[in-house]
Amino acid sequence: MAVRNILNKRDETLHKVCKPVISFNERLHTLLDDMKETLAKAQGVGLAAPQVGVLRRVVIIDTYDGTGVHELINPEITWRSEETQRVQEGCLSCPGEWGYTIRPQKVKFRAQTRDGDWYEEEAEGLYAQAVCHELDHLDGILFLEKVVEFIDPEEEE
């Protein structure tokens, strides 16, 4: 495993749409393991493959709630609740920038495991927020485009 460099918002890679994963092999497993190590070192909640320079539909999320690191390969949201949450967000690719976004309170998604098996899951609260944030990365969208109010990093609601 290795810690990978996290790209800055100015890098063009972060503004491109990622391609699906079609090979579930050792290379993918290494990417996932490296992303876990990178996320842990950066102390973030989520990390998408384009943030480490790989244009594939791969996301990892750790909400530090005891459920461990979630691996989402080729994820797609299948349902969003009408109920929303106004949440504070930041991004490892946008250090020092914070803002409030409006995200669904709950989402359902389907994704594949590192071995290619499909699964479905429901997420709510912080996990739902992270799923939406990270899946935006896969489509070349940064959270800055979703901010309804920018805030000073020292502020708290």
What residues are labeled active site?
A: 134
The H or E element that residue 15 is part of is: none
Q: Strand, helix or coil at 138?
A: helix
Tell me phi and psi for residue 80, to 5 degrees.
-130, 135
User: Please, what is the Cα angle at 104 between 101 and 109, to 5 degrees?
Assistant: 125
- C-alpha 92/C-alpha 113 separation (Å) is 24
Length reported for the chain: 157
The conformation of residue 153, written as its DSSP 8-state character, comes to T
